[in-house]
Amino acid sequence: MEVDYEYMANALASLSGVPVRIYREGRLAGLYHHSDFTPDPAVLEEKRIFENPGNVSYHMTDTFLFYGLFRMKHAPVSLVMGPVAQVNPDRAAACEILRSMGEAPGRARELMEYMQSIPTYPLRNFLQILCTLNYFINDEKLNVKDLLTDEALPLIPGGETSSPAKQQYGFVHNTYELEQLLLSIVEHGRVEDLSAMIASPPVGRAGIMANDAIRQQKNLFICTAALVTRAAIRGGLDRESAFSLSDVYIQKVELLKTCQEVMGLQVAMVRDFTRRVADATCGEKNDPRIRRARDYIFQHIDRRVTTEELSHELGLNRTYLCSLFQERTGMSVGSYVTALKLNEAKRLLEISDKSLEQIAAYLGFSSQSHFQNAFRKHTGITPGAYRSQRKMH
């Protein structure tokens, strides 16, 4: 019997109140909902929505909208549901969604009305809807936890192992110092350092927070979420996004059944926060050219990086590069390079025992006094005072 996919999509949209799209052989063939917004938010997320190869999956955008994807087993047809939010966005959230779409913030009221026409669903409920519909569409039984596809690597495994933190900073004596190291990585958006830490993690042991292993791991996760949320805010992530992301991850962790799953989600959460902080340093709309420049500067953090060198590395005209930095970051190229170096200095002051002379040399300053003067101009206090303040927290 031939399946009437248009009827199916229309019925699904009517029953759920959520927009539903039909894709035939990867191309949009129809949109069903009583309300619309142009451009369709889902079209802008298509690539990421379809990244998961499963018959059913979900995708969360950077602005905390959810989409569900169904692939038909026996036809080159897919259905996409969404966007769905856990709570209706306020004006600030609507402006952030519009910014991610490249649309003017003046359309905030229009977007808010569109989102209000779609029912809100907690994450668990939305995932349960996807599992139920997938059973009827593909005759495939799945549980909510089957849709949670985060990494499965623990941050702090049991047993002794070597540590890049020990090699780079000369210490990680206890859980508190490990915590400070991790939070510093998040606050300064050091994605590469986090990857190295995960690949060969320091040893640490958390206190007892529950009588059974899974509850202990979930409680540790929630504590970690609170800490990295605040670290990310200190690093430049806006408060609304940080707390919304934390809420999403805490909801997700309560759906898990094993310690390994919880530890895997913890890694994914910390990666996500760290990446978002790094993105916040890459200027307006996280310009990929600024990100490439940032990565290059970090790779050569121990010496002077010139505008000419960066323009050659990025394949851009020097004048254009200067105007791009001013437009996207509000800073000149030289000021941006200095800001990255001084942010790295803050991190080293917080989590290492390196002397001021060693930090100045490591960051390519001509002398310790040059470093101290630049640091004071940037922060308003001396490096020594900054270290003392942070050690007290």
What pLDDT shows up at residue 238?
83
Q: Is the pLDDT of residue 237 over 70?
A: yes
Q: What are phi and psi of 20, to 5 degrees?
A: -130, 135
What pLDDT shows up at residue 317?
92
Q: Is the pLDDT of residue 367 over 60?
A: yes
Mean pLDDT for 348-359 is: 86
What pLDDT shows up at residue 273?
94
- pLDDT tens for 141-196 read 988 877 865 443 444 433 333 444 444 444 344 456 677 788 888 988 888 888 87
pTM of the model: 0.59
What pLDDT shows up at residue 315?
92
What pLDDT shows up at residue 391?
67
What pLDDT shows up at residue 354?
86
Q: Is the pLDDT of residue 263 over 90?
A: no
Q: Is the pLDDT of residue 333 over 80?
A: yes
Q: Residue 23: beta bridge partners?
A: 28, 78
> Which residue did the predictor score with more confidence, 382 or 180?
382
Q: Residue 344: beta bridge partners?
A: none
- pLDDT tens for 55-88 read 999 988 877 789 999 999 888 999 999 999 887 8
Confidence of residue 211 (pLDDT cuts 50, 70, 90): low
**Mean pLDDT taken over the chain:** 83
Mean pLDDT for 115-135 is: 89
Contact 190, 169 (CB under 8 A): no
Q: Is the pLDDT of residue 381 over 80?
A: yes
Contact 172, 166 (CB under 8 A): yes
Burial of residue 20 (number of CB atoms within 10 Å: 0-12, 13-18, 19+):
buried
Angle, helix 91-101 to helix 239-253, in steps of 10 degrees: 90
The radius of gyration of the chain's CA atoms, rounded to the nearest angstrom, is: 24
From CA 302, how far away is CA 376, in angstroms rounded? 20
